[in-house]
């Protein structure tokens, strides 16, 4: 046995779980991750915009996890990036947990400033949005920044090592079994196993869970487009909130649609999956565009007898990829409104220069379900009352942007699965969708392990 506790994944969930266990007990902890040290992670796509599919992916894997190379925006609300209130047993306890996690980020060098706290500007924006039937979600946010995030992650890792935590990097866990994991065909035993494999390990872990007889359920997915507008259009709201979140209930279908992942002066990028392409957005350190982009996504839930949201989301993405000839689709909002496809000529006549060029100008209404297209059209009209110019004819829409989340792993209140000694945390278990919430579920799982370890044996 190499350790009392094996943690799979050095993302926020794994690191914060290790922090809790090593600060409060003498249990030995080993973190295993298939990625590299923070300082050895380097993604070519962040400089060039082109993904060359490194294996494992530097963006998603390694110390710091999926957010390790991001701008490290900490959403300091328990109901953003998942909802902690049920797991933490109440909203007050959930918010306290967020503050505990935030305090650890501060201890390791996160900047003190918090944006998005109550101010007159926020109140004005909230009122303006409400008058247009849009909900603006003010979120206190701490921005670590991509240039400082590696220092914060390294500082936390150093503290963990001082507290005795061991790291085994560049190592893939092949299988999870009762009381042991398999690495390069060899069995490694532990009293407790905490699986925190993130989105990148979600499909793999769902297979492990199924094989172990653990119950899993499909959650909601998000389907829509990436919207690109001139940066000046978004500037007034960006001044109030760096990643403004607007929630809308659409008129025709009563659906929930929201803005997500706003990149001011950023770029739209292609994401390649095994059988489809998708889009996303990012900001580059070295290069700024004159545009802003954000995801505009409808929440899709399915009820009995068909609940497989993942298969549904993939089939939408697959259809969009077929219509786009293997590339993302690009359409001007004006063309979508008029029921005609976009062409390069029509796009060049507009005011917005696309930041992603490896696309196929076409017709999004041939790719996305009519319900989603209606939501996009109605939602942008409504948003235009809050962010004037966002629904101009020149606005660009890239499709598909599909957010599939991990299947939710069933646990008890201590985050322990039906396999004794196997605990789960973070995005890979369908419990979170953000740095703070993932870290918080890691702390909860660690407390579950400590509870079990210190329980008197009968």
Ligand X SMILES: Cc1cc2nc3c(=O)[nH]c(=O)nc-3n(C[C@H](O)[C@H](O)[C@H](O)COP(=O)(O)OP(=O)(O)OC[C@H]3O[C@@H](n4cnc5c(N)ncnc54)[C@H](O)[C@@H]3O)c2cc1C
Interface with ligand X, residue 244, by CB under 6 A: no
Interface with ligand X, residue 136, by CB under 6 A: no
Site membership for ligand X, residue 435 (CB under 6 A) = yes
Q: Torsions phi, psi of 167, nearest 5?
A: -120, 135
Q: Is residue 102 close enough to count as binding ligand X by CB under 6 A?
A: no
Window of 305-313, 341-349, 391-399, 432-440 that interacts with ligand X by CB under 6 A: 432-440
Q: Which is nearer to ligand X, 31 or 336 (CB)?
A: 31
CB closer to ligand X, 18 vs 323: 18
17 binds ligand X (CB under 6 A): no
HSE-CB at 337 with a 13 A cutoff on CA atoms is 14
Q: For residue 172, state whether it binds ligand X (rule: CB under 6 A).
A: yes
Q: For residue 293, what are the β-bridge partners?
A: 228, 263
CB of 304 to ligand X, least distance (A): 29
Q: Is 293 in the site for ligand X (CB under 6 A)?
A: no
Nearest by Cα to 411 from 206, 221, 216: 216
208 scored as a contact of ligand X (CB under 6 A)? no
Which of 10, 129, 134, 329 touches ligand X by CB under 6 A? 10
Among 49, 81, 219, 266, binds ligand X (CB under 6 A): 81
DSSP H or E run through 401: strand 396-403
Q: Does 59 participate in binding ligand X (rule CB under 6 A)?
A: yes
Tokens of 441: 């579920």
Q: Give the nearer residue to ligand X in terms of CB position, either 115 or 382.
A: 115
Q: Of 121, 117, 111, give the one whose Cα is nearest residue 151.
A: 111
Q: Which is nearer to ligand X, 8 or 297 (CB)?
A: 8
What is the DSSP secondary structure assignment for residue 456, as one 8-state letter? P
**What Å distances lie between residue 83 and 73, 162, 221, 438, CA to CA?**
17, 32, 15, 10
Q: What is the pairing mode between strands 291-300 and 246-249?
A: unpaired
**Region label for 289, one of left (φ > 0), alpha (ψ between -120 and 50) or beta (otherwise):** beta
In whole angstroms, give the CA distance from residue 349 to residue 341: 14
Out of 3, 7, 9, 190, name the contact with ligand X by CB under 6 A. 9
Residue 13 binds ligand X, judged by CB under 6 A: yes
Binding residues for ligand X, how many (CB under 6 A)? 43
The smaller minimum CB distance to ligand X, of residues 56 and 389, is found at 56
Burial of 52 (0-12, 13-18, 19+ CB in 10 A): exposed
Comparison of 80 and 231: residue with beta carbon closer to ligand X: 80
The answer to whether 149 contacts ligand X (rule: CB under 6 A) is: no
Contact 83, 439 (CB under 8 A): no
Residue 197 as a binder of ligand X (CB under 6 A): the answer is: yes
Instruction: Rule CB under 6 A: say whether 173 interacts with ligand X.
Output: yes
The position carrying tokens 């001011």 is 264
- Beta strand 166-168 with 29-32: parallel, antiparallel or unpaired? parallel
- Residue 134 near residue 383, CB atoms below 8 Å: yes
**By CB under 6 A, residue 201 contacts ligand X:** yes
Cα–Cα distance for residue pair 206/215, rounded to 1 Å:
10
Least distance between ligand X and beta carbon 322 (Å): 26
- Which residue in the set 18, 30, 34, 129 belongs to the binding site for ligand X (CB under 6 A)? 34
Applying CB under 6 A, the residues found at the interface with ligand X are 8-14, 32-35, 56, 59-62, 65-67, 70-73, 75, 81, 172-173, 196-201, 204, 426-428, 432-436, 438
């Amino acid at each position: 046995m190499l350790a009392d506790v094996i943690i799979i994944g050095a993302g926020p969930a794994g690191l914060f779980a290790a922090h809790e266990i090593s600060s409060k007990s003498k249990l030995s902890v080993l973190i295993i991750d298939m990625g590299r040290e923070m300082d050895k992670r380097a993604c070519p796509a962040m400089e060039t915009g082109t993904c060359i599919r490194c294996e494992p992916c530097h963006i998603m894997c390694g110390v710091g996890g999926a957010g390790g190379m991001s701008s490290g925006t900490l959403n300091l609300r328990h109901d953003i990036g998942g909802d902690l209130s049920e797991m933490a047993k109440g909203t007050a306890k959930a918010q306290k947990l967020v503050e505990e996690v935030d305090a650890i980020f501060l201890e390791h060098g996160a900047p003190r400033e918090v944006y998005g706290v109550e101010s007159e500007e926020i109140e004005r924006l909230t009122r303006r949005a409400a008058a247009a039937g849009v909900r603006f979600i003010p979120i206190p946010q701490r921005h670590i920044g991509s240039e400082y995030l590696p220092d914060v992650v390294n500082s936390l890792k150093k503290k963990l090592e001082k507290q005795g935590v061991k790291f085994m990097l560049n190592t893939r866990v092949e299988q999870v079994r009762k009381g042991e994991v398999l690495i390069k065909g060899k069995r490694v035993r532990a009293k407790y196993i905490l699986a925190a494999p993130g989105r990148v390990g979600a499909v793999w872990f769902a297979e492990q869970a199924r094989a172990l007889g653990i119950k899993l359920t499909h959650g909601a997915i998000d389907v829509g487009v990436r919207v690109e507008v001139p940066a000046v259009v978004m500037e007034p709201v960006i001044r109030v909130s760096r990643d403004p979140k607007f929630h809308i209930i659409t008129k025709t279908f009563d659906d929930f649609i929201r803005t997500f992942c706003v990149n001011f002066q950023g770029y739209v990028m292609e994401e390649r999956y095994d059988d489809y392409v998708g889009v996303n957005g990012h900001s580059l350190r070295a290069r700024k565009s004159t545009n802003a982009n954000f995801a505009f996504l409808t929440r899709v839930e399915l009820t009995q007898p068909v609940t497989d949201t993942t298969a549904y989301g993939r089939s939408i993405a697959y259809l969009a990829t077929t219509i786009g000839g293997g590339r993302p689709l690009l359409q001007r909002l004006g063309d979508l409104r008029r029921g005609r496809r976009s062409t390069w000529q029509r796009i060049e006549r507009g005011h917005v220069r696309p930041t992603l060029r490896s696309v196929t100008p076409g017709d999004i209404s041939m790719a996305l379900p009519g319900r989603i297209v209606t939501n996009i059209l109605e939602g942008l009209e409504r948003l235009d009352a809050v962010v004037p110019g966002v629904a101009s004819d020149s606005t660009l829409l890239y499709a598909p942007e599909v957010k599939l989340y991990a299947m939710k792993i069933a646990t008890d209140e201590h985050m322990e699965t039906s396999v004794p000694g196997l605990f789960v945390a973070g995005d890979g278990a369908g419990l979170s969708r953000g740095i703070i919430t993932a870290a918080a579920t890691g702390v909860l799982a660690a407390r579950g392990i400590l509870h079990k370890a210190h329980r008197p044996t009968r």
